[in-house]
């Protein structure tokens, strides 16, 4: 934005009307150059201060023995790759890594499919569609700490509402240990995260659907394409750009999910829901192993960057296709 505005200014500042004196043009050029640099400065300073510096700091911390004392005296001895060696040797890291992938992929798949289904559903006009759609946003509006506490009650094995209902329907007699069993806890946390993510997907897809002209569906229905066929040949291709945005934002949001897991299980039971984000948090802020915490979060940054690169590739390709 800033760059374009500055360039626009530069263009209008070089008038072709009179043949200008050579020196004057040079100073004018230099002046517009300085002006555009000043326009860029806030954005560059912001990026350097609030994005660049923390990332550089995090990268360097990963190579340091960064302790509680470091905060006070600034001394953090270099330890080379020791933090990374410790990280890869730790049995928890591989669990956290695979949990992170399962959590991210399953959460996004669930949010995506259900969000899209709801968006298509709400595209039809029916009584009370507006208020119901507004209610669907509720999970998005709740603070995650509250969401965590509520779902912890709902999923409680002995007195949680969900098991009570299942018991009343005679689907289970002993209660399902949603959050208490290492084999179920990750699934339960994913289900809660899907519930939280549906409104976001619904909203983006819904607005994406608004931009598809009704005429397309009318024309298609004359040709006999309705229902699933209309979805496959009109809705889905027309939603492609929106789909890319939803997927990439979804991946980045989901990779770093922390509060909901801390609230539900704190990474337990027996590390069953430990992800890279919770592991990094626990290493840094409960075990005071800041260097190792930074090493784990650097891995997280790397994964996010990979996805960002894939996204840029995809969007460039789709732009080229257009």
- Binding window for other proteins (CB under 8 A); candidates: 27-35, 115-123, 209-217, 240-248: 27-35
Angle between helices 290-321 and 53-61 (to 10 degrees): 130
Q: Rg of the Cα trace of the chain?
A: 26
Task: Return the beta strands (E) in 214-256 as ranges.
Answer: none
| CB of 199 or CB of 291, closer to other proteins | 291
CA–CA gap between residue 210 and residue 230 (Å, rounded): 15
Complete DSSP assignment for 283-301 = HHHTS--HHHHHHHHHHHH
Near other proteins by CB under 8 A: residue from 62, 115, 148, 177: 177
- When asked if residue 3 is in the footprint of other proteins (CB under 8 A), the reply is no
Q: Which are the contacts of 145, defined by CB distance < 8 A and separation ≥ 6? A: 259, 263
| Shortest distance in whole angstroms from residue 138 CB to other proteins | 25
> Which residues from 264-283 bind other proteins, rule CB under 8 A?
265-272, 282
Interface with other proteins includes 45 (CB under 8 A)? yes
Does 12 engage in binding with other proteins (CB under 8 A)? Answer: yes
For position 164 contacting other proteins by CB under 8 A, the verdict is: no
Q: Cβ of residue 264: shortest distance to other proteins, in angstroms?
A: 8
| 308: Cβ contacts below 8 Å, ≥ 6 apart | 248, 252
As a whole number of angstroms, the distance between CA 69 and CA 16 comes to 64
Tell me: does residue 89 bind other proteins (CB under 8 A).
yes
Tell me which stretch binds other proteins (CB under 8 A): 85-93, 112-120, 190-198, 230-238.
85-93
Residues contacting 81, CB < 8 A, separation 6+? 63
Residue 92 touches other proteins, criterion: CB under 8 A: yes
Structure tokens at 131: 């208020």
> Which span (86-94, 125-133, 223-231, 307-315) binds other proteins, by CB under 8 A?
86-94
| 195 vs 288 by CB, closer to other proteins | 288
Q: What angle do CA 125, 130, 135 make, to 5 degrees?
A: 135
Sites of contact with other proteins (CB under 8 A): 6, 9, 12-13, 15, 28, 31-32, 35, 38-39, 41-42, 45, 67-69, 71-73, 86, 89-92, 152, 156-159, 177, 179-182, 265-272, 282, 285-289
């Amino acid at each position: 934005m800033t760059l374009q505005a500055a360039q626009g200014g530069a263009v209008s500042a070089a008038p072709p009307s009179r043949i200008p004196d050579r020196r004057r043009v040079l100073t004018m050029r230099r002046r517009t150059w300085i002006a555009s640099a000043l326009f860029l400065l806030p954005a560059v300073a912001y990026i350097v201060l609030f994005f660049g510096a923390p990332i550089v700091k995090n990268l360097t911390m990963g190579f340091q023995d960064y302790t509680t004392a470091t905060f006070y005296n600034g001394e953090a001895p270099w330890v080379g790759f020791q933090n990374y060696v410790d990280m890869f040797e730790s049995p928890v890291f591989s669990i956290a890594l695979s949990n992170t992938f399962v959590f991210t992929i399953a959460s996004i798949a669930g949010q995506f499919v259900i969000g899209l289904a709801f968006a298509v559903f709400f595209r039809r006009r029916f009584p009370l569609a507006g208020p119901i759609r507004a209610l669907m946003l509720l999970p998005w509006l709740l603070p995650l700490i509250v969401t965590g506490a509520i779902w912890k009650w709902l999923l409680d094995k002995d007195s949680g509402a969900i098991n009570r209902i299942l018991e009343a329907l005679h689907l289970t007699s002993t209660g399902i240990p949603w959050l208490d069993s290492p084999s179920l806890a990750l699934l339960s946390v994913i289900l809660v995260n899907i519930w939280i993510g549906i409104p976001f997907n619904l909203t983006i897809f819904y607005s994406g659907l608004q931009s598809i002209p009704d005429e397309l569906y009318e024309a298609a229905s004359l040709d006999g394409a309705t229902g699933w066929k209309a979805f496959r040949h009109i809705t889905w291709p027309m939603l492609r750009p929106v789909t890319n945005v939803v997927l990439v934002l979804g991946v980045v949001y989901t990779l770093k999910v922390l509060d909901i897991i801390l609230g539900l299980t704190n990474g337990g039971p027996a590390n069953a829901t430990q992800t890279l984000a919770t592991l990094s948090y626990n290493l840094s802020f409960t075990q005071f192993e800041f260097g190792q915490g930074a090493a784990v979060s650097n891995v997280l940054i790397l994964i996010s960057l990979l996805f960002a690169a894939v996204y840029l590739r995809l969007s460039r390709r789709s732009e080229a296709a257009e």
